Structure 1
Amino acid sequence: MSTTIAILSALPQEQGSLVHALQNPEKIIHAGRTFWRGTLHGHQVVIALSGIGKVAAATTATVLAEKFGATRIVFTGVAGGIGANVKVGDVVVARDYLQHDMDASPIVERWLVPGYPQIRMACDAALTEQLLAATRETVERDSHQIDWASLGMEAQHRPQVHAGLIVSGDRFVSTAQESDSLRLALESAGHAVLAVEMEGAAVAQVCADFGIAFAAVRTISDRADDGAHLDFLQFVETVASRYADHVVNAFLKSV
């Protein structure tokens, strides 16, 4: 029985040229979104944009599950780095997620989604290891070809690949004070966070509901601080789009 792998991103630039690479592409519009179904590296895939935010991401993931029968979902995009050793240009592969703006206390403890057993929702272990290997391969090869100086960084910048906790919330974290406060609150509760974005935890929750394997990779576009709004668009165009193409292609070749 054939299986479908869904490739999901929030923004077009985070998707690279994956749609153009599809064989036998079919355009399907549903729930206000455009889905592209076709074949890539021998796999039946569906490529979609979720839009920004947790609700938009959850809607898209639900459509991928119910209408397209996705058995695996991979999210590729950008994030703000808030872990102490996570720098602009690094790449983070998620091992698990939590919603940093979820707070139903005192009914349940902070960050726990009511009705779920744990605060952190795990990504699929096997899929994550495959995505991690593809990411390491891509970063090792591609980082030497990027003009880091044009982004205001050291010309010889060598990005690192991290794996661990990413958090999501319906807010673009864009000040050093907010970033530090979020990191300290999480770390004090035992959650060593690497990056923050606005969609992944919602997709993780939907995948848990439907029993779908989920993995996610995020390129660090900024430090989620006072310079975030200045760095974001240029970085997505220059670096994240390239990584999206190459990581996903390497991943699909390996599974």
Structure 2
Amino acid sequence: MRLGIISALHEEQHGLVEAMQGAATALHGGRVYTLGKLWGIDAVCVLSRIGKVAGAVTATLLVEKFGVTHILFTGVAGAGDRSIAVGDIVVADALVQHDMDASPLFPRFQVPLTGLAHFPSDHTMSMQLLAAAHGFLEHDLADVIDAEQRATFGLQQPRVHRGLIASGDQFMNEINAIDALNAALPGLVAVEMEGAAVAQVCYELGIPCAVIRTISDNANEEAATDFLAFVSAVASKYAFYIVRRYCEGGMESR
């Protein structure tokens, strides 16, 4: 087994490369791939950059060039529902491209010629990520995010959610647009810019994948400010400790 770990931004993967044993780097397709062992797991870490095409290219290269057998995307996202708060964690059970619309030739959201609108994540990987996320909130959060930061971002009682994640090539910062998407896509928990494209690549190549996101903003008019501050101060710690728990515990049965 070889686990590919993708993030869009450096901050979303901060610490993981440094934690690798026997790390070696390879440059391909304008991206730096770092290969090594993460808590006993053979892994490849890479930054995709932002957007669906960037995510799809990165996932394809991980499989075809670097031989990964499983792909994990970790990073931040905007809330997909008003009940989901900054600091919550979402794990995808399926992913959809919310800006895909080839109607009337095909139904809205359906990727033409695949027959699918919702691309599933791997059930086993997702359940292991859920366990890792719950473990992080219960055992690690208070130690790795200090009281001042928790107060600044309102991280009082973060929760874990599982549901639909929607991806599109736009930064969502209008609450009316989120409400409309939520009405069109029942079960929506988060919006971001890469996951559904990665899920489509993995589906077509027969590679198990999972997507976990930390909610960085409420996808409203203040989203850009919330996003930049949160990614820098908080999200990297969430990602590091959840991936560590996932590798140490969740992958043992693989």
The answer to whether the Cα contact below 8 Å between 1:40 and 1:252 also exists between their aligned partners in 2 is: yes
Root mean square deviation of aligned Cα = 1.3
Rounded Cα–Cα distance in structure 2 between residues aligned with 1:75 and 1:140? 22
Partner of 1:88: 86
For this pair of structures, how many residues does the alignment match? 248
Q: Deviations over 1:153-183 (max 9, x none)?
A: 44x7010000111000000001222222222
> Normalising by the residue count of structure 2, what TM-score does the alignment of the two structures yield?
0.94
Q: Deviations over 1:123-178 (max 9, x none)?
A: 00011111111111012223324246546344x70100001110000000012222
Rounded Cα–Cα distance in structure 2 between residues aligned with 1:67 and 1:78? 26
Partner of 1:99: 97
The answer to whether the Cα contact below 8 Å between 1:143 and 1:158 also exists between their aligned partners in 2 is: no
The answer to whether the Cα contact below 8 Å between 1:72 and 1:214 also exists between their aligned partners in 2 is: yes
Counterpart code for 1:125: H
| 1:32-181 aligned within 5 A | 32-145=30-143, 146-147=145-146, 149-150=148-149, 152-154=152-154, 157-181=156-180
Rounded Cα–Cα distance in structure 2 between residues aligned with 1:137 and 1:115? 40
2:231 to 233, 236, 253: 236
Rounded Cα–Cα distance in structure 1 between residues aligned with 2:138 and 2:215? 16
**Gap regions ≥5 residues in structure 1:** none
The answer to whether the Cα contact below 8 Å between 2:81 and 2:178 also exists between their aligned partners in 1 is: no
2:199 to 171, 191, 204: 204
Shift of residue 197, structure 1, vs aligned partner: 0.1
Rounded Cα–Cα distance in structure 1 between residues aligned with 2:232 and 2:147? 13
Rounded Cα–Cα distance in structure 1 between residues aligned with 2:43 and 2:141? 27
Rounded Cα–Cα distance in structure 2 between residues aligned with 1:80 and 1:217? 12
What secondary structure is seen at the aligned counterpart in 1 of 2:214?
strand
Q: Deviations over 1:42-61 (max 9, x none)?
A: 21100000000000000000
Rounded Cα–Cα distance in structure 1 between residues aligned with 2:178 and 2:40? 42
Q: Deviations over 1:201-240 (max 9, x none)?
A: 0000000011100011100000000110111111011211
> Normalising by the residue count of structure 1, what TM-score does the alignment of the two structures yield?
0.94
Select between 117-126 and 217-226 the one with higher mean Cα deviation: 117-126
**Gap regions ≥5 residues in structure 2:** none
